Structure 1
Amino acid sequence: MAQITGAEIFVEALKREGVKTIFALPGGVVLKIFDVLHQQKDVEVILTRHEQAAGHMAEGYAKATGKPGVCLITSGPGMTNVITALADAYMDSVPMVCFSGQVPTALIGNDAFQEADNIGLSRPCTKYNFLVKDVNDLAQTIKEAFYIASTGRPGPVLVDIPKDISMDKADFKYPDSVSIRGYNPTYEGSKWKIKQAADAIMKSRRPILYIGGGVQLSGASKEVRELAEMTQIPVDATLMALGAFPGNHPLSLGMLGMHGTYVANMAMHYSDLVIAVGARFDDRVTGKVSEFCPNAKIIHIDIDPTSIRKNIHVDIPIVGDCKCVLQELNNVLRATVNGDQKELRKPWWDQLNEWKTAHPLKYEQDPNQLIKPQYLIDRVYQLTKDRDPVVSTDVGQHQMWAAQYFHLANPNTWLTSGGLGTMGFGFPAALGAQAAYRDRLVLCIAGDGSIQMNTQELATAVVSKLPVKVFVINNRFHGMVRQWQDLFYEGRYASSYLDQTPDFVKLAEAYGAAGLRISTPGEVDDGIKEALAIDKPVFIDVPTYQFENCYPMIPAGGCNHEMILEDPPELQKRITTGAKGKKESKDTILTA
């Protein structure tokens, strides 16, 4: 076979990895690669308008499909722009391969035009990174990049390709497998530890199954459901695990953590056994570490040994892939379980049901007042649940309300930024999922603050025919910031009030998308149905009540059982008379 260029090797390697879509933005040092991509039809190139968005689209693609997302960006500012997406993917363990262009090898270190230290910049926020120095190593490097990104605890991998490497020629030999010294993820858990875990489960009277994003990543939803149903153990899900266990299942207690349900947090605090699967005990879940689950023994199953005992002491650590470990655990339990497990733990279930009844998620929607965000999200859920949509969110109050009121039934249907909390994530991530599933309903729940960080991708949505439906919760505030200022800063809205936002309807139309506005509670259902019927991208602007707060809420540094459930009396009084330092009614009508 004749030798081919590095750019051709790049494209052939993508094909061997089964890559169907790549999110990309060109620049001088990657033009050879783009030229080769332009001349083939097996890999779709979606041109983004910003490199950060290209990274988030790759994340959305990966979260929706379970396969590595791929993006291609240029050197210098192209690399610095994608750093946020890499950091986001690293925090949430998203399998992703980012290819960056670099100045020619002879110029590296000379401050050449659009040169940046891509390896140094990405080292803190990637699972691994490569600088290709010889075209003969390119194919092997790409194979290793996909292997590292998708095995063990997944994460983003960077491959930095200098301009001359893309133009040099070499024989194309793509390896069938990869073996990397020092990198051997453990998939099978210790049988002895699994037996210990099974014994602890059988002895417990107040157990809780605490599932994290690792359940999604390992494809362990079936095994989690089998474990929960066999043992009749209630399930708490983290923000990243939503959908991994059906949200409307009788055993589901909903999301736990800072804005989790009352019953989910109380169950965690008063349990005698916590079975943590693919979760990392982050601060949004544990609250005050010294008082976290004071009477519970803890089992922790995770493929990443560095996550175990990192934040919380664990009694039974099991290093291994969630799916593999749960399969073995279920086998052991299946031979052990006898009788009605729910009857065995009836006092525990009585307590759980009492908590559910006493403090359910709730809101009140007056038909004559502004739309409550919870009402909108609840109605979007009710009108779309039969279509099993993929739901993406930005970051803020709307994200928490979506987590509370969208009861996802299946894994890989929830796209959100958890660890990094990246505003601007939601819309491009939704586009990435839509690129993967052209005929599927993809929704984006966004705030008027966060959506403005990547609205330029409306052009990408229109040109690439990605009919995502974006519901903009428009309260003219950075809502979560405003909520904290109301609760902890005496209502001083320091830089949180957005006194100028665009007309989102006109903005969408300017890009060739559709724009709608839903202004009153009575228009909500018809507006949602109208948006769903439009076969192109839609921005739905929804002016909402400005001072609605998201509860329950565990204050930073608080304990899981110490939740704020509603606005304190002094806050209720203040928000009816003060906004922006002026006297305004809480029913102030928002206009575009």
Structure 2
Amino acid sequence: MSVEMAEMQRKNSIPPIQFGEEVTGAETLLRCLLLEEVEYIFGYPGGAVLPIYDSLYGSYFKHILTRHEQGAIHAADGYARATGKPGVCIATSGPGATNLVTGIATAQMDSVPLVCITGNVAQSLIGTDAFQEANITGITVPITKHSYFVRDVRDLPRIVKEAFHIATTGRPGPVLIDIPKDVANAIAPFTYPDHVEIRGYRAEVVPEDEEVQKFIDAIKSAKRPVIMAGGGIIAASADKELLAFAEKTRIPVINTFMGLGGFPGTHELSLGMPGMHGNFTANQALLNADCVIGLGVRFDDRITMGRTKEFAPNARIVHVDIDPAELGKNVSTAVTVTGDVKNTLERAIPLVTACESEAWIKQLKDWQQKQPYKYKTDGDTLKPQAVIELLYTSTDGEAIVTTDVGQHQMWTAQYYKFKNARSFISSGGLGTMGFGFPAAIGAQIAHPERTTIAVVGDGGFQMTNQELAIVSQYNIPVKVAIVNNQCLGMVRQWQELFYDNRYSQIDLTCSPDFVKLAEAYGVKGLRASTPQEAEAVWAEALAHDGPVVVDFRVAQGENVYPMVAAGDTLDQMELGEE
């Protein structure tokens, strides 16, 4: 055992690990996870992983038994996004493994580090259509950063070491390890490598000096520059560097949906979110900028609207990303920097000076004052936007907020001003309904001292609400805010605007009584239908020291505005009613 491993064991009070001792593959796996400093595992047992679960019995790990494998991987995802550490989940073979697929794709699209461990039938049965056999490595090849099928127990330590390295370095992502049952039962001397050497894999990309200098030179001459900060800022833990860079250069900052929290939403240089449901000022900034500095962004279709030639038509585009495949993929770039955005900003900050941008900043502030996010109030009717504003003001923007997908997701992005990185957790690229609640569980476990709110719709919540059993069993104090408009809100909005009010299969009025559902699980349930009730029950929810479900009955026909229709350009914004 190396000196480093011995010190890590001492520091983390990990039970002594005997190297060279003959142990099973299942025990080998757990020892490897201990050495990777894994504390929490989210999972669901089954036949093919029984050897692993037998080794888990009475172990050091905190295992969270979810009620569905999808809940396990979304909770591991929330844990990873809230901490920056890799989330770990376990599922059995066949349907257990395939139930992870949506969560794996979610993590891949949003660059989240996960290590997903699945069991499989014994190798002698592979290819025979054995009970609960599935080629999960083949199924997940397109949606993982890498997938492993373990054929020899002696390879398992190296594979685990590589899996954590791949998941957490470069552009993060999910890695799958599929372990046949015979490998889990096989016996071999325990070893664990001190370091990783993967031929052809060079994840830590340091920008060339010439690239960094071109990045700096592109900014010097700009009069109307804007930074567009994406999820790469958060993945690289570069939020402090971004703040220092923006303040020194006096360049306003747009946060993409995945980048929310990477720059304080209350800062004077913050312009908020751009794109389909972005604000007027952020979109005008892109339309009028002479230099757009993309930091860890994909320039995806929700920002460019698929009209890449008309995107930022007056601007030179500077793009910094650790993944060279993203550079120039969606929009034409004038300057590219291949490398870690944190490292790039650290090297640039001492060399940059303030831009001549004060007139530009004044123009942006004028737009912000004239065209803020707005909605029409209506007496005692509870508006969904008001619910998000209530969540924001009551927590002073300091909570961890997770969401599902739909209207409530966009209202959260618009009306909750995130101050801190890793405080907004949502499925961006894949748009996964059912994500928000289990992700909040993982985030709350990661940060038990912080208020964690799951903002969900009445549709998405019903996809994973069985995980109420977990928050009840472990007294995990997640606050669930259901924005209940009794329909599939975003689908209804599109059917209203683009399908001539033909509302097809969006009615959720037969949903359960969510208060009674919560109480059936032993969780406190509350309901509000007016602004006054909303304030009272939300204060009660925050004061309660355990989990709470709050059913906010909101106006059914409310739409998310501003909106840019698919195929339109950013200057074709529908601002909605005054």
TM-score greater than 0.5 by the shorter chain: yes
CA drift at 1:130: 0.1
| 1:98 counterpart = 2:116 | yes
Equivalent-residue separation in structure 2 for 1:264 and 1:61 (angstroms) = 30
2:344 to 302, 325, 331: 325
Partner of 2:9: none
Equivalent-residue separation in structure 2 for 1:192 and 1:517 (angstroms) = 59
Equivalent-residue separation in structure 1 for 2:213 and 2:275 (angstroms) = 29
CA RMSD of aligned residues (A): 1.1
5 Å-filtered alignment, 1:157-306, equals 157-287=175-305, 288-306=307-325
Deviation sequence 1:30-56 (CA, Å, 0-9, x none): 01111111121x210000011111110
5 Å-filtered alignment, 1:106-505, equals 106-287=124-305, 288-333=307-352, 337=353, 341=355, 344-366=356-378, 368-385=379-396, 388-505=398-515
1:71 to 89, 107, 113: 89
Equivalent-residue separation in structure 2 for 1:477 and 1:458 (angstroms) = 22
Equivalent-residue separation in structure 1 for 2:422 and 2:532 (angstroms) = 32
8 Å CA contact 2:525–2:550 kept in 1: the answer is yes
**Equivalenced residues, count:** 558
Partner of 2:16: none
What amino acid is the match of 1:376? V
8 Å CA contact 1:208–1:271 kept in 2: the answer is yes
Equivalent-residue separation in structure 2 for 1:290 and 1:274 (angstroms) = 14
Equivalent-residue separation in structure 2 for 1:464 and 1:132 (angstroms) = 34
Partner of 1:586: none
What amino acid is the match of 2:394? L
Equivalent-residue separation in structure 1 for 2:35 and 2:174 (angstroms) = 19
Deviation sequence 1:323-352 (CA, Å, 0-9, x none): 01111111221xxx26xx4xx223312321
What amino acid is the match of 1:365? T
Equivalent-residue separation in structure 2 for 1:459 and 1:327 (angstroms) = 45
TM-score, normalised via structure 2 length: 0.95
CA drift at 1:567: 5.0
CA drift at 1:527: 1.0
What amino acid is the match of 1:543? R
Equivalent-residue separation in structure 1 for 2:292 and 2:166 (angstroms) = 31
CA drift at 1:439: 2.5
8 Å CA contact 1:210–1:236 kept in 2: the answer is yes
8 Å CA contact 1:478–1:497 kept in 2: the answer is yes
Identity in percent = 50
Partner of 1:22: 41
8 Å CA contact 1:549–1:567 kept in 2: the answer is no
Equivalent-residue separation in structure 1 for 2:262 and 2:461 (angstroms) = 26
Deviation sequence 1:458-509 (CA, Å, 0-9, x none): 1111112211000001101111111111111111111112231110000000
* SS, match of residue 97 in structure 1: strand
CA drift at 1:267: 0.2
Partner of 1:84: 102
What amino acid is the match of 1:534? H
* SS, match of residue 481 in structure 1: helix
Deviation sequence 1:295-340 (CA, Å, 0-9, x none): 110110000000111111111110001101111111221xxx26xx
Deviation sequence 1:191-235 (CA, Å, 0-9, x none): 112111111111000000000000000000011111110011110
Equivalent-residue separation in structure 2 for 1:403 and 1:19 (angstroms) = 31
CA drift at 1:186: 4.1
* SS, match of residue 63 in structure 2: strand
CA drift at 1:353: 1.9
CA drift at 1:557: 1.0
TM-score, normalised via structure 1 length: 0.93
Equivalent-residue separation in structure 2 for 1:381 and 1:535 (angstroms) = 19
Partner of 2:13: none
8 Å CA contact 1:462–1:537 kept in 2: the answer is yes
Structure 1 unaligned spans of 5+:
569-592
8 Å CA contact 2:86–2:167 kept in 1: the answer is yes
Partner of 1:34: 53
CA drift at 1:237: 0.4
* SS, match of residue 396 in structure 2: helix
| 1:12 counterpart = 2:22 | no
